[in-house]
């Protein structure tokens, strides 16, 4: 009897492990339109209204717990000032980008606007309803999906700056991969110096990003701002419009710049604690989902 139980237990365990590994393997192999992605979309769509409801219902609990943490960090008093700084930072980034473009394109008569939100873009406001419990997945789920005009690769901004891009959609939800995710890489420019590089994460440390692949000889100082570069070369183009604030240089040692062409920056957006984001779609009419 006991042996039978042990055999049954082992068989079920092996079956579950095999199922997990098969799912992992198949999921990696199939494309976004595969049957596993489809099944996942169905489950996510079914649970989406429950998630939205639960998010609102449990917000007081979450806020209470976070309040203790915020008080501990003495952050409570700063929210009003942070809003003002974010607004001024947006304005500064926009103006600095416009200045740089005006210099570079002075030979041309047409001056393109260096605004953060490019013409023809309709921002869709969405609520962040889900977050991964581990630091390995820097992704969030938002309550706007393909039926709201959200498409894969649409840029996503938070109140203070760039948050990430849409990597998967269902009719009612979308997965946003944050700039702190291991798969993220954003071409960026340091203002006002104009040095360019690629912003990459330091997995596990949401307050530290790295600006890599800087040109040799560039001099970057702490406190300078980093914005999206929005490069375009032939058919290849960055999915992020130019001029969106990303972060501020926090560490720029001469040794590291010379040896690795790298500096460190802290993202402006508080990626661990954001309730709303804007998806810069080019397909919808600028709706919002609260």
Partner 1 sequence: MILTRGVIARLAALGALAAVAQVVCFSKMDIFGSSPDVALLVVISVGMLGGSLTGAVTGFSIGLLIDCLLLETLGAFALTMLTVGYVAGRYRETVGRPTRAAVVLLGGSLTLLGAVVIAAIQIGTGIDANVSFLVVRDALIKSLIGALIAIPVLWVVRLVVCSALVDERRAARRTAAPRPVESG
**Binding positions for partner 1, rule: CB under 8 A:** 8-9, 12-13, 16-17, 19-24, 26-28, 36, 39-41, 43-44, 47, 50-51, 54-55, 58, 61-62, 65-66, 69-70, 128-137, 139, 141, 168, 170, 173, 175, 182-183, 200-205, 208, 210, 272-273
- Tokens representing 82 are 């942070």
Phi, psi (degrees; rounded to nearest 5) at 31: -80, -175
- Shortest spacing between CB 22 and partner 1, in angstroms: 7
Neighbours of 214 (CB within 10 A): 21
Smaller CB separation from partner 1, 76 or 192: 76
CA distance 265 to 92: 18
- Shortest spacing between CB 277 and partner 1, in angstroms: 13
- Shortest spacing between CB 15 and partner 1, in angstroms: 9
Do you find a cis peptide bond into 6, omega within 30 degrees of 0? Answer: no
Smaller CB separation from partner 1, 78 or 91: 78
Smaller CB separation from partner 1, 56 or 91: 56
- Shortest spacing between CB 65 and partner 1, in angstroms: 5
Smaller CB separation from partner 1, 41 or 148: 41
- Shortest spacing between CB 59 and partner 1, in angstroms: 8
Q: Is 224 left (phi over 0), alpha (psi -120 to 50) or beta?
A: beta
Sorted by sequence, the CB contacts under 8 Å of residue 257 that are 6+ apart come out as 214, 218, 219, 220, 263
Beta bridge partners of 237: 232
Tokens 């309709």 correspond to 122
Smaller CB separation from partner 1, 209 or 226: 209
């Amino acid at each position: 009897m006991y042996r039978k139980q042990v055999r049954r237990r082992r068989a079920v365990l092996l079956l579950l492990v095999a199922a997990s590994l098969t799912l992992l393997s198949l999921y990696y192999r199939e494309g976004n339109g595969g049957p596993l992605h489809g099944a996942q979309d169905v489950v996510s769509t079914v649970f989406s209204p429950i998630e939205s409801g639960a998010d609102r219902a449990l917000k007081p609990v979450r806020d209470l717990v976070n309040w203790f943490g915020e008080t501990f960090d003495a952050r409570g008093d700063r929210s009003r000032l942070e809003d003002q700084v974010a607004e001024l930072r947006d304005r500064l980034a926009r103006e600095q980008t416009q200045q740089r473009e005006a210099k570079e394109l002075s030979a041309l008569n047409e001056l393109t606007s260096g605004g953060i939100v490019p013409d023809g873009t309709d921002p869709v406001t969405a609520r962040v309803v889900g977050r991964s419990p581990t630091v390995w997945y820097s992704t969030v789920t938002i309550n706007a999906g393909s039926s709201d005009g959200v498409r894969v690769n649409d840029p996503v901004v938070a109140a203070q700056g760039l948050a990430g891009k849409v990597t998967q959609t269902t009719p009612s939800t979308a997965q946003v991969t944050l700039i702190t995710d291991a798969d993220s890489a954003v071409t960026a420019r340091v203002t006002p110096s104009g040095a360019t590089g690629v912003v990459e994460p330091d997995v596990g440390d949401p307050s530290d990003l790295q600006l890599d692949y800087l040109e040799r000889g560039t001099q970057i100082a702490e406190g300078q701002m980093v914005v999206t570069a929005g490069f375009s070369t032939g058919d290849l183009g960055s999915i992020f419009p130019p001029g969106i604030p990303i972060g501020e240089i926090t560490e720029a040692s001469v040794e590291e710049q010379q040896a690795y062409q790298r500096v460190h920056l802290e993202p402006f957006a508080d990626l661990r604690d954001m309730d709303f984001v804007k998806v810069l779609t080019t397909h919808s009419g600028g709706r919002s989902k609260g």
